[in-house]
Amino acid sequence: MTVNCLPSSEAAARALAEDIIAEIHRKPDAVLGLATGATMEPVYAELVRRFRKGDVSFARVTTFNLDEYVGLSGQDPRSYRGTMDSQLFDLVDIDKSRTHLPNGMAADLEAEVIDYERQIKAAGGVDFQILGIGRNGHIGFNEPGTPFASRTHVETLHSETLAANAGFFANDVPPSRALTMGIATILSARRIAILATGDSKRDAVAAALSGPVDPACPASALSVHAAVTWWLDPAASAGLDLANAC
């Protein structure tokens, strides 16, 4: 595990974007696991900027997103499909048929999660998985208590997660369930990078990096993976004993 502390949230996001670009340069047909959320917005903005400069092409890349809300169609801009389209997919040269998210409108959600696992396997697995971290330590939508052996499944969201997501839904109530890659699915990626920025992520980062490896903090499962890189800003890393401090 490598933990990097950058001097600002902007620098941390740029560093992760550079890591993604390096992966694509190394393997132009890379399979990327992608995340959504406010933390990822500057990462995707930087990838779009670098694409427009001619620094990277997504033409042969395949993507699998971590999660999607149950009950939102891909045409809903608040869905993660809608978010990924507007922030990245519609702005670069990726083949949209190679971009995958769970279908939150599937009539049979249990069949959908099984099929999502099948699609990931058929693509050869994820080369590079990108993660954020929730305030309660969740990765994807794997809430505290999710077994480390979990695969893609339907998750009921905790109150902290609903509160954190409320800002994206204005006067509406956020969906209470989501389809998410499981922790074992995430850990199956060949390489993982996690970005955490801001004061609100400090306790979750500390629990993941300094606490016990325990389902109470889903992100602590990353400690058992052989190739994980953390990208942190000063606020998220405060209180950690880091050799490469900000």
> In this structure, what DSSP letter does residue 202 have?
H
**C-alpha–C-alpha distance, residues 118 and 112, integer Å:** 10
**C-alpha–C-alpha distance, residues 140 and 129, integer Å:** 11
Strand spans (E) along the chain: 2-5, 31-34, 62-65, 67-69, 99-100, 128-131, 153-156, 177-180, 191-196, 228-232
**Pair 216, 145: CB distance under 8 Å:** yes
**C-alpha–C-alpha distance, residues 171 and 229, integer Å:** 37
Give, in order, the Cα–Cα distances in Å from 192 to each of 105, 116, 187, 188, 231.
28, 19, 8, 9, 11
User: Which two three-digit tokens encode residue 65?
Assistant: 């997103």
Task: Report, as residue numbers or ranges, the catalytic residues.
Answer: 67, 136, 138, 143
User: Which two three-digit tokens encode residue 201?
Assistant: 């992520």
Partners of 100 in beta bridges: 64
User: Token pair 């697995």 is at which residue?
Assistant: 125
